[in-house]
Amino acid sequence: AFSLTLFNAAVDLISFSNILFGIYPPLFVVLLIYSIGGTAISVFLGRGLVTLNFLQEKKEADFRYGLVRVRENAESIAFYSGEESEMQLLLQRFKSAFENLTELLIASRNLDFFTSGYRYVIQVLPAAVVAPMYFSGKIEFGVINQSVSAFNHILGDFSLIVYQFQAISAFSAVINRLGEFDDILDRSSSNSLTDTLEDISITYKDFRSSSALESNGSTPPEKYATLLEVEDLILKTPSESTLIRDLSLTIKEKDNLLVMGPSGSGKTSFLRAMAGLWKTGTGKITYYVKGRKSGIFFLPQRPYMVLGTLRQQLLYPTWADDVVPTSDSTNQKNVLPFLTNMPNSDNMNDKPMKPTTDELIKVLEDVRLGYLLARFSLDSTHEWSSVLSLGEQQRLAFARLLLSKPQLALLDESTSALDEANEIHLYQQIGAANITYVSIGHRSSLYAYHNRVLRISTFNTNNEQLNWCIEPTTPESSLNFTNL
């Protein structure tokens, strides 16, 4: 829009400058000097507007972020009786934004006063200068109107910065803020490019290719196919501190692995690396599954609750696209292309059949959440992260897992908010569904539902021994970790 305004001003200036200069050249010179002086004064008065607009964007964003944090953590704040402290922090951020807005309004007011005076003070000048020439008979009366019109047009063209200074300053503040964001993205991408050779490699291969069979039958077929191979994995933090060194393991169907270790040893980081969320380090992770999305399912410690109905909670993320309402075909003509759901044929082939309502009700009963249907219908919409307790949310996440039926599940302390009885029940359910899983846990009762234990200790740079070991689960294996 500003480029178009600038172009129109340039065309207008060329058209009317010749007219005014032909009527009375000194008037054109006075106008040029007046507009240059007005522009200089405008820049002087509004020199702080760009900074003030930039700070206002930042301070308002900080205040909104503080409000969101309080809303998301309201219960924890109430338990700590921290309402007064949070109120002081929010008031401090609000006061900072308010004080900056006050300075911004004062600067804008001063600039408006000057702009209004600048616009009207000189209006009588062209008529006053050209009028003596009319009375002396040198020009006709119509020339006076012509000179006034040309003068006003040229004044507006020369004074474009004066009249648009506030809009330009606000636009510059937004550009500066976007520029900072772009610089951060550039630094992030440049760092990722320099570290590409050091990243953990994750590959996905066809499930059928993992069977160790030879055409002449010299190699006997494996009873269970391989699902996951980890080779020479070195896991590091972003600050290059080593968490795990030279880890290699293979997971086959029904080979359930329990990951244990002290806090900070790298258990969750290991699962993040397996899920492709953590790339810092070296090594190779290979999956042998039917589909990248449908073959692997990740359960975090705190499940994500989508905005929508209870049905959508259960269908997420495998069938998330199927439950988004679409408009009628008659209204599709005016819909922008990126607003329409374009199904991915690969995902549709890998995706299991969408569960029926009866299957959704059954899976809620399987995870002992059937009582929710007495309070809510499947199509009722609520803020589920607030309505359901953390334990209920974790059981709902297991319901998603049972519906998706992946080949491999990665569980990051996914039962931490549950009692042992419900924890054991859920592991029995996923075992009965023939889902192989790698889970992080701390309770000794989990040994009965895993075949092997990966024990990870805190890495010691002065110790050359590996900080991990894999052993079969036995009743007395829980005692061995203290000797690691």
In a domain, 217, yes or no: no
258 and 173 both lie in a single domain: no
Predicted confidence at residue 350, as pLDDT, reads 60
Cα 77 to Cα 157, 164, 201, 417: the distances in Å are 57, 47, 41, 19
In a domain, 202, yes or no: no
Tell me which residue range forms the domain holding 274: 224-321+350-472
In terms of Cα–Cα distance, which of 412, 438, 458, 457 is closest to 250? 438
Instruction: Mark 142-173 as b/e (b = at least 16 C-beta within 10 Å).
Output: ebbebbbebbbbbbbbbbbebbbbbebbbeeb
In a domain, 197, yes or no: no
In terms of Cα–Cα distance, which of 247, 250, 251, 270 is closest to 260? 270
Whichever domain contains 230, its CATH number is 3.40.50.300
267 and 400 both lie in a single domain: yes
236 and 176 both lie in a single domain: no
Return the structure tokens found at 244.
């795990």
In a domain, 88, yes or no: yes
7 and 62 both lie in a single domain: yes
Is the separation of the CB atoms in 60 and 97 below 8 Å? yes
Q: Which of 171, 191, 211 is the last residue of a domain?
A: 191
In a domain, 482, yes or no: no
d(CA 368, CA 209): 38
d(CA 137, CA 447): 111
Whichever domain contains 7, its CATH number is 1.20.1560.10
Count of domains observed in the chain: 2
d(CA 229, CA 219): 20
299 and 182 both lie in a single domain: no
Instruction: Mark 200-213 as b/e (b = at least 16 C-beta within 10 Å).
Output: bebebeebeebeee
12 and 156 both lie in a single domain: yes
Q: What is the pTM of this model?
A: 0.68
In a domain, 479, yes or no: no
d(CA 393, CA 384): 8
In terms of Cα–Cα distance, which of 49, 41, 46, 1 is closest to 176? 49
How many CA within 13 A on the CB side of residue 30? Answer: 12
Query: What end-to-end distance do the CA atoms of the chain give, in Å?
Result: 68
In a domain, 55, yes or no: yes
Q: Write out the H or E segment, with its range, that includes residue 318.
A: none
Q: Which of 150, 175, 191 is the last residue of a domain?
A: 191
72 and 142 both lie in a single domain: yes
In a domain, 426, yes or no: yes
231 and 172 both lie in a single domain: no
Predicted confidence at residue 277, as pLDDT, reads 84
Predicted confidence at residue 433, as pLDDT, reads 93
> What is the pairing mode between strands 436-440 and 452-456?
unpaired
Q: Write out the H or E segment, with its range, that includes residue 50.
A: helix 49-72
Q: Which residues of the chain have pLDDT under 50?
A: 196-197, 209-219, 324-330, 336, 338-339, 345, 478-479, 481-484
243 and 115 both lie in a single domain: no
Predicted confidence at residue 476, as pLDDT, reads 54
Strand ordering across the sheet containing 281-288:
201-205, 281-288, 226-236, 242-252
Q: 190-242: per-residue pLDDT in tens?
A: 665 555 446 888 898 876 544 444 444 444 555 668 899 999 999 988 788 88
Predicted confidence at residue 209, as pLDDT, reads 46
Q: Using DSSP, state whether 255 is helix, strand or coil.
A: coil
